[in-house]
A and B are shown apart, each in its own frame.
Chain A
């Protein structure tokens, strides 16, 4: 009975822990989907990996490029050790240095493709790794000595930091490449002798991402004989970085040769549809260690997102170490380990920049303030934050516990805010600063004796109108402090949309973040009145509502259904504006007043309020839903979800790719659906597909 399986063949399996036999399945590309078939021994073997990167108009590129895409159906195999940068043309030393880092980051992601690469070692590229492992950075001999010195000091600093932190069994830093499973022997000499050359040309010297940065790129892959050349042409570093991201998506593991394979020939022209493709993380309600933020930045870069809105503090905690007002941190941090020191922040900002991401810090107000402000009263400055007495029921004073709101009539508030803004300038050198402006509770000010006294002394009534005026006192004073701190640099403030914002805020000085639910009519008013906006519809683009039962067992402020990846994908700012009666929202036609809708809509931002999330659940909560969001903003596909199975298939692959890179993205489907594209369909999709097949 037991002999019916060819035991000889399979005996090998258990010994090594893996089947030594070839995969029983092969894949063919049919109508843009990879179809699983049993492999015929004498027939050609196409692995799933190969099929995925070549099948369909866009292969597995995510987000889908907006320009021309041509991919050959063939791949060529090579060892990642034989991938070299043969040209990195830039006239700017700093850009050269940045490219060097991007190339190393790219190279690591290629090594991570090996299934045996230990998942725990897939960590962000630290400056230390960068210094110690660069086999590319020797190429740039014309390095500016000042820059070299700066980097030397940096890595020295970092090593000191490591030394200071007590650790056991710390491995000596060594090249991750020396640990790469791709070092194992390959039996195919053709693979061993194949070279991949990368040639990069960057024409501009931008080394800081701004809203007007040109992120477009051109990528050409050509294979002649045993040479494959990937040519990248971009005006800025940021475009070149995106091109490397796309190139990495045209490379997959090759299980037969213990190698990788790249699409043999390709041409891609690409540029984003929206300038602002952001993510907001709240580190005030729960703390995220620096390493987790760096991993987050990596994962955003994998999806070509470019703005990280850092909601640093909230009423619950103040984790930023302020050099100028250290007691904010002393009283406000959850504990001494849960602090972002200036060096940490600078490292994060620099790391983000290398990943093509600009960091927008937020110290918002007047609501969401309590932690950290306690010290001032002891030093005779009066109450800086009101409604922080825990004996009062929080629900009378704010949207959530803990309550707390800035005391706008205490003049001591503003110099301190000014100091905090100066810290922000020092640590972030930001292009924009978020000033908050959400959830202001008039009931809080109403309950405050100090405010009531002030109102009666100045002969005012306790009316909404007066509270708007108080809010305006706060906002205009804070704005002035911010501009003072900027010392002449142009720093654009961002504020959440509200009736206050519409009635009091100068549309030309601010950017407005729209948190209204999709299709609320007020959204159109912003555009009609010429406001510059970022879309953040909280019913579609809020990542935090998955388990939102943190106060009691009722979900608050969340839509009745959890936004799925389809919601994230479908929410189109321009379609929404068309629907709301903004004419020609999708065209370049100027409005009567000379504005252009597409210029007013900077882009969008997905948000995660950390009520019930910290670093443990972060990645799986945001990925891969935020990938769907990223494609909406990069590609802005005009038909919202046509051919869902094709989008779903690429999204499944993008999720898998992130997991290969050490990001704990959630699976959307059983792996069966990844391996058998189009098998997991709904009735509608099945009908659509059968009709399609019948037509052909």
Chain B
């Protein structure tokens, strides 16, 4: 500290005599720049009732129609939801309530339901789980993204984050980790009942995952063969899976790590009650709605136990608008906020006119 100042003194070239003080003087004069004198040109806005009130009005006027628009859109979305957990003893799936992972033959059940209104546009089929903590920290981190990205060394040496789901029977698990291990494996099939005949409805299983996930983030291991079985040589299936990862689907571009059901599952949900996209039902032609009003039946291959943690399973059919699925929150919020703004605008305007107008004198800010 001390001689620091000493050095400075020397650098300054301290005048050694009385008369010499003028020598170094010139350079010491502060520059007359706007910045150094804190006189930069500046915009000095003042929030006054005069500027804010119209803004509130305008915002209110914008928000209310937006809110109404969203609300109407959301209300026009058709959504049908079936809870098929089977906790209720009258439910057809009640028999499957306590299934375990490896029960053979798999427990199946069928739920009939009626759609009162037709689903005109493309229909999206979701499965929903409740009380399932996909966002638990231990769960979220239990994956190896480089393995899923097709990295061959990670395939055989999964990250230790996957513990306790990284090896089984001394073989590395592919895909490792708790998320993959607990992949949802109920099979849902939809039939339209037309005069007692069950017409299967085509469920499209592609196009349900993010494009970037399917094409970049998830990749099968590489090698000089296209045979997935060979590529996954040396690994074993996750403990809870009935079949290994290379047998998830018959189609090559939907098999292994790039299986879309798997990719969807691997995107961990934000909240313990969540839905995930399961299948797409595309509109066949413009004449008929995708799903007509009428009777339907849902065939469930019930493999996924949720009862043990008090969970729930749902199947959701939903159409989609430009804003996504049915969500009344946004519309209501916009309408509310817009109304409050408008109301406040009116109240403030009254106050302003009553009290504020008399003093238009120049204001010293703040």
A and B assemble together: no
